[in-house]
Amino acid sequence: MSELTLSQANQIVEAALAKGAELGLNPLTVAILDAGGHLKAFARQDESSIMRPQIAQGKAYGALAVGFGTRWLDAAAQERPHFVQALNGASGGTIVPVPGGVLLQDDNGKTLGAVGITGDSSDNDEAAALAGIEAVGLKANTGA
């Protein structure tokens, strides 16, 4: 597979939202970016707060920026805060360095894009992202 399709991106969104419903999570916002960082698919559940679109995209963008899921960025923010501050400055403040941003990869490890989810705890956001990725048979990189 050479690129993430719109069909796959939409399936990831639907499966992630279904996982959120199954777990009884707060309203979720899901952003799927392609490998170039462009928005491919997006959904914001009713009653999501106003900054959720930016947070979801920031999680996905952060994963793409470093080539690891944002769980890695979360650890880096604690261990090397100067690095994450500089990275966020270089990106114009768009990176959200907490779990919930997961890389999408093919069987060969090629990055096809990223999923960013927000609305509940970071661990629950990441669980919904993983369910979405699993639904389309792609590999996930959480940065763990």
pLDDT tens digit sequence for 54-100 = 999 999 999 999 999 999 999 999 999 999 999 999 999 999 999 99
Contact call for residues 66 and 35 (beta carbons, < 8 A)? no
pTM as predicted: 0.94
Separation between Cα atoms, residue 62 and residue 40, nearest integer Å: 16
pLDDT tens digit sequence for 60-71 = 999 999 999 999
The sheet with strand 139-141 has its strands ordered as: 39-44, 29-34, 111-118, 101-105, 139-141
Contact call for residues 139 and 114 (beta carbons, < 8 A)? no
CATH architecture entry for 6-139: 2-Layer Sandwich (3.30)
Percent of residues in the chain assigned helix, strand, coil, to nearest 5:
45, 20, 35
